[in-house]
C-alpha cells in the first residue's frame, strides 16, 4: 500500500508540474502560428479579391481583433475541447487531428520496434564484445545509421526495394483494420527510414550502459561465483542499464515524432505531419495550432510516462 501511495503521489506531482507548462505551451503555439507568413484572409479570398472582401473575411474570422483577445478566445475553446475549424474546408480541427494522429502513431510505433529491436540487440552485442571486432563493426554501422538523414535513406530504399526489386510499394498507406497484411507491406520502407537513426542512437547508448554495468564491482563478484557471461550480461547488466536506457528510448520516441513529418511526405502517409505541412502551405492557422498543440501535449505525456517508469525502476527518485 505504501509503495502504491508513493507512486500515486509521484504521478500527481508530475501532473501538477505540467499545468504551468501547458499554459506556456499554449502561448508558444498561439504565438508561433502568427509567425506564418501571409494573410489567411487573402489566401481564402484569392489574389484578385477586393480589399473590402478581404477585410470582411478578416472580421468574420476574428483576425481584426487584438492578439490578446484572439488568444483568450482560442484558449477558452481549447479548454472546452474545441480546437476550431479549418479556414478552408470548415472541418473540425479536433476531428482532423483525431483521424490523422493514429496513422502517425502507427508509423512511429513501427519505427520504435525497429529502433529498439536493432538498437538493444546491437548495443548488447557491442557491449559484451567491447574493444573487439564485433564491437567495432556494430559501432561503425551505428554511426552511419545516425549520420544518414531519414529522407536520404528513404529515397535509397525506394530506389532499391520499390523501383528496382519491386518488393514493396513506394507510397501509400492501408489501414490495418481493412487489410493487415497490406498495412504491414506498405509500412516496411517508411518504418525502416524513420527508425534507422534511432536504432543507431540506441546501439551506442546501450553499448555504453552495458560496458558500465559489466565494469561494476558487483559484476566481478558474479564472475567469481562462476556465472556464465551470457547470464551476467542478459540478466544482471541489462537490469542496471534499464534506468538510463528508459530515458533514451523516450527521447527517441519524441525524436521520431518530429522526424515522421519528412517520412510521411516522402511515402505519402496520411499522418499528422502531412496535415501540418498542408496547413502551413495554406496558412490554415487553426489547423497549425491544433497539430502543434496535439504533438506538444503528446511529448509532455511521454515525459510523464518516462518519469513514472523511472520512479518504478528506481524507487529512490520518488
Are 8 and 155 in the same domain? no
Q: Is the pLDDT of residue 93 over 90?
A: no
Are 52 and 137 in the same domain? no
Are 222 and 310 in the same domain? yes
pLDDT digits (tens, 9 = 90+) for 126-170: 888 888 998 999 999 999 999 988 889 999 999 999 898 889 988
pLDDT digits (tens, 9 = 90+) for 70-84: 788 878 888 888 888
**Is there a contact between 213 and 241 (Cβ–Cβ < 8 Å)?**
yes
Are 154 and 35 in the same domain? no
pLDDT at residue number 218: 67
Which residues are CB-contacts of 287 (< 8 A; sequence separation ≥ 6)?
Answer: 86, 87, 93, 96, 275, 276, 279
Q: Is the pLDDT of residue 293 over 50?
A: yes
* Domain residue limits at 40: 2-79
Are 247 and 305 in the same domain? yes
Closest CA to 157 of 198, 181, 192: 192
Are 202 and 299 in the same domain? yes
Instruction: Check the CA dihedral 268-273-276-280 and report its sign.
Output: negative
Q: What is each CA distance from 48 to 36, 54, 60, in whole angstroms?
A: 21, 10, 19
CA distance 174 to 313: 38
Q: CATH no. for residue 190?
A: 1.10.3720.10
The number of folded domains in the chain is 2
Are 120 and 261 in the same domain? yes
Are 57 and 203 in the same domain? no
Are 150 and 65 in the same domain? no
Per-residue pLDDT, averaged over 211-223, amounts to: 69
Let me know if residue 253 belongs to a domain. yes
pLDDT at residue number 2: 41
pLDDT band at 316 (very low <50, low <70, confident <90, very high): low
CA distance 295 to 290: 9
CA distance 280 to 278: 5
Are 68 and 104 in the same domain? no
Which residues are CB-contacts of 149 (< 8 A; sequence separation ≥ 6)?
Answer: none
3-class SS at 1? coil
Look at the pTM and tell me if it is higher than 0.85.
no
Are 150 and 281 in the same domain? yes
Let me know if residue 87 belongs to a domain. no
Q: Which of 44, 79, 114 is the last residue of a domain?
A: 79
CA distance 31 to 92: 21
β partners of residue 92: 85
Let me know if residue 85 belongs to a domain. no
CA distance 194 to 277: 18
Per-residue pLDDT, averaged over 218-243, amounts to: 67
Let me know if residue 287 belongs to a domain. yes
Let me know if residue 299 belongs to a domain. yes
pLDDT at residue number 302: 83
Q: Which of 50, 79, 108 is the last residue of a domain?
A: 79
Let me know if residue 166 belongs to a domain. yes
For 119, the grid coordinates are 538498437
Q: Which of 79, 102, 132 is the last residue of a domain?
A: 79
For 169, the grid coordinates are 510499394
Which residues are CB-contacts of 273 (< 8 A; sequence separation ≥ 6)?
Answer: 104, 260, 261, 262, 263, 264, 265
Are 71 and 99 in the same domain? no
Mean model confidence pLDDT for the chain: 81
Q: How many CB atoms lie within 10 A of CB 120?
A: 20
Amino acid at each position: 500500500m505504501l509503495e502504491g501511495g508513493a507512486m500515486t503521489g509521484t504521478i500527481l506531482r508530475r501532473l501538477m508540474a505540467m499545468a504551468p507548462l501547458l499554459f506556456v505551451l499554449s502561448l508558444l503555439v498561439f504565438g508561433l502560428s502568427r509567425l506564418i507568413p501571409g494573410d489567411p484572409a487573402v489566401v481564402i479570398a484569392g489574389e484578385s479579391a477586393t480589399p473590402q472582401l478581404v477585410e470582411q473575411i478578416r472580421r468574420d474570422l476574428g483576425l481584426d481583433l487584438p492578439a490578446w483577445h484572439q488568444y483568450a478566445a482560442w484558449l477558452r475553446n481549447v479548454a472546452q475541447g474545441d480546437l476550431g475549424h479549418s479556414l478552408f474546408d470548415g472541418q473540425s480541427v479536433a476531428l482532423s487531428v483525431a483521424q490523422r494522429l493514429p496513422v502517425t502513431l502507427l508509423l512511429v510505433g513501427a519505427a520504435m520496434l525497429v529502433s529498439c529491436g536493432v538498437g538493444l540487440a546491437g548495443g548488447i552485442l557491442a557491449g559484451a564484445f567491447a574493444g573487439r571486432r564485433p564491437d567495432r563493426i556494430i559501432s561503425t554501422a551505428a554511426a552511419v545509421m545516425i549520420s544518414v538523414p531519414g529522407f536520404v535513406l528513404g529515397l535509397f530504399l525506394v530506389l532499391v526495394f520499390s523501383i528496382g526489386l519491386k518488393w514493396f510499394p513506394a507510397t501509400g498507406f492501408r489501414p490495418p483494420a481493412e487489410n493487415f497484411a497490406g498495412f504491414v507491406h506498405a509500412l516496411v520502407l517508411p518504418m525502416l527510414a524513420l527508425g534507422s537513426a534511432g536504432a543507431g542512437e540506441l546501439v551506442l547508448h546501450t553499448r555504453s550502459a552495458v560496458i558500465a554495468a559489466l565494469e561494476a564491482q558487483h559484476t566481478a563478484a558474479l564472475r567469481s561465483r562462476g556465472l556464465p557471461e551470457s547470464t551476467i550480461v542478459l540478466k544482471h547488466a541489462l537490469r542496471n542499464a534499464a534506468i538510463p536506457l528508459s530515458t533514451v528510448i523516450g527521447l527517441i520516441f519524441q525524436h521520431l515524432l518530429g522526424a515522421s513529418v519528412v517520412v510521411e511526405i516522402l511515402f505519402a502517409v496520411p499522418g499528422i505531419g502531412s496535415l501540418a505541412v498542408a496547413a502551413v502551405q495554406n496558412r490554415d492557422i487553426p489547423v497549425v495550432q491544433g497539430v502543434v498543440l496535439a504533438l506538444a501535449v503528446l511529448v509532455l505525456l511521454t515525459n510523464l510516462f518516462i518519469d513514472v517508469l523511472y520512479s518504478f525502476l528506481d524507487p529512490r527518485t520518488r
